[in-house]
Amino acid sequence: MSTFPPIADYAFLSDCENNCLVAPDGSIEWLSLPRPDSPSVFGALLDRKAGSFRLGPFNAVAPDQRRYVPGTMVLETTWHTPTGWLVVNDLFVVRPVSDEGRRAGYDRVPRVGAGVGTILRTATCISGKVDVVAMCLPMFDYGSAPSTWSYDSDSYHSMAVRQPDGDVALSLHSSFQLGEVGARAYVRSTLHEGESGFIALTWSGPPPTTQQEADADLESTVSFWREWLSTGKFPDHPWRPYLERSALTLKGLSYAPSGAIMAASTTGLPETPGGARNWDYRYTWIRDTGFTLRALYRLGYDWEALEYFAFVLGALRGKDTEKPFTELQIMYGIGGERDLTERTLDHLSGWRDSKPVRVGNGAWNQHQNDVWGMLIDAVDSHLHRGAEQIIEPVWEGLAGFVEDAIHHAGDADQGIWEIRGEPQHFTQSAVMCWLAADRGADLARERGDSERAARWQQSADAMKAEILDKGVDERGRFRQAYENDELDASLLLLPIMGFLPPDDGRIKATVLAIADELTEDDLVLRYKVDNTDTGFAGKEGTFTICSWWLVSALTMIGETSRARALCKKLLSYAGPLKLYAEEIDTSTGEHLGNFPQAFTHLALIEAVSQLIEDEERQRSLSS
């Protein structure tokens, strides 16, 4: 039996500057510092020897209950031991923002509250008595660099440790007495009914130093998350909790200093247990932009949409508004970094022996034709939501991207799935080039740029004609690539992105063919791995975002009963805390891939919202 917990069993915590994953036994097994894309300090997620930080009862590893405090990113774990009951709260501390000056490293103005570089863990005995233990073993630089704790005052209540040959310094502050054995700091104490204690891990502080301060930090953090959630627009529906948790997860995956939103909080979690498809997702993908803006606007988070859009523009041109745009990449670092060179960490075992663990992402400089369409569609959507007009230098940069899409529309590429085999003429990539020209023409019309509007619309019409000629097979359904007749889940984007109306026969035939032929237990595969040159061998699980796309597409073509059934099945596959990874293995129900996955939660928001809106339409028609 593996000692690695199932991926979906981890809890995700964040303060929008850093994030971590907490295993069911109370161990923090993933934390990277000083940024969420930095080397890990706790990395037991990827190697049981790579560091962790546990707080919980002695000789108990299976909690009675775990949940988020409603409306928050605060984890509450209830333990039942032979002698009593214990409740543990885990959180990144968020405090009200003071107006004492600009926060270091921030390009955005923090709203209401902000992180203070502290993980707080509180424990309260609610019945009987409970022996409480804590073990904090940081292993810096992805588990390769242990260090030694030492007392940093004349009491037993605070300790410090520093990364060897590095800049990360940690301190522990606790109401419990702290001990140390080399690289490990520990607590062993007993709480009786009504008693509480805390332990706080800090890297930029200041930490709470008393129980009263710890309680105040818990209260301010709960208030911050609930106040943020209350600004959204959520339907009164049984599926509302899934929408709220998805919104909180997206917020947690954001990086407040820049406005970026990461694809996931982790690296190295495999698409197949024991396999080699293990990537680093702690970056921002341009193709996510349109979906991200749609979801944020749909839920009423206009300000977050604006900040994310500002990050994307900043990544394209830097801080100089007069500077021409650079060549568009498919992804950027959360600070706008362009070079994301990939390397392997061969000293790590990987989650359940899934090797190699990679950091960086080798796809950063791939040629993917869909990126222009996704970006221009995002801009078009942003402006139609009432955003301010874009300035002339930005418009000229975007116009250059439209021209690039038109110029490269006939080129082979690696496609949306970033295959590492030979480039092909993927239908979805061609459609995204059409999208760039079509949405670009719309933007040009809005700006009164009639020459570009006419020329780009002409190009869009010509591209559409070619796609309908080369991208449709003899059965009247869209094909994966011009070179084959395979199905591909990315074709579900054609109705979603408005390439053809949902009632078009070719769209219906494609959606239904994918539902019938490219699924396992109703969940959608990206493609048939045996018939697609991905550059890797081996099976992969069903891709959860594609299953949510199918829910949306079925709803759009009028197959609402089938869409609703699939939606219910997908919701039943959610992790215990309503979180999703990238894939689901239908034979076991296990989640696979990096976690939690922003793209999956974005697609959930869109699909679930569409179904709820359809229910409301049907009710209004029947009343």
What is 7-230's CATH topology? Beta-galactosidase; Chain A, domain 5 (2.70.98)
Report the percentage of the chain scoring pLDDT > 90: 73
Alpha-carbon distance 544 to 246, whole Å?
14
The answer, yes or no, to whether residue 531 has pLDDT greater than 90, is no
DSSP 300: T
| Whether the bond into 206 is cis, omega within 30 of 0 | yes
As a 3-state breakdown, the chain gives helix, strand, coil percent values, each rounded to 5, of: 35, 20, 40
The whole-number pLDDT of residue 126 equals 98
**Among 520, 521, 528, CA closest to 487:** 528
Predicted confidence band of residue 505 (pLDDT cuts 50, 70, 90): very high
Q: What is the CA radius of gyration of the chain?
A: 25
CA distance 160 to 172: 6
Class of 240-622 per CATH?
Answer: mainly alpha
Q: What gap in Å lies between CA 89 and CA 100, rounded to an integer? A: 30
Burial letters 496-530, b for 16+ CB under 10 A, else e: bbebbebeeebbbbbbbbbbeebbeebbbbbbeee
| Domain residue ranges of the chain, discontinuous segments joined by + | 7-230, 240-622
Q: How wide is the angle at C-alpha 495 spanned by C-alphas 489 and 498, nearest 5°? A: 135
CB 18 within 8 A of CB 35: yes
Distance CA 43, CA 427 (A): 40
- Cis ω on the peptide bond leading into residue 596 (within 30° of 0)? yes
**Residues 431 and 496 sit within 8 Å (Cβ to Cβ):** no
Q: Which of 94-103, 407-416, 531-540 has the highest mean pLDDT?
A: 407-416
pLDDT digits (tens, 9 = 90+) for 360-390: 998 787 777 788 888 898 888 877 765 557 7
Long-range (24+ apart) CB contacts under 8 A made by 29-33 are: 30/265, 30/266, 31/119, 32/282, 33/168, 33/203
Structural contact between residues 523 and 449, judged by C-beta atoms closer than 8 angstroms: no
Q: What is the pLDDT of residues 10-28, one digit of tens each?
A: 999 999 999 999 999 999 9
DSSP code of 27?
E
What predicted TM-score, i.e. pTM, was given to this entire model? 0.94
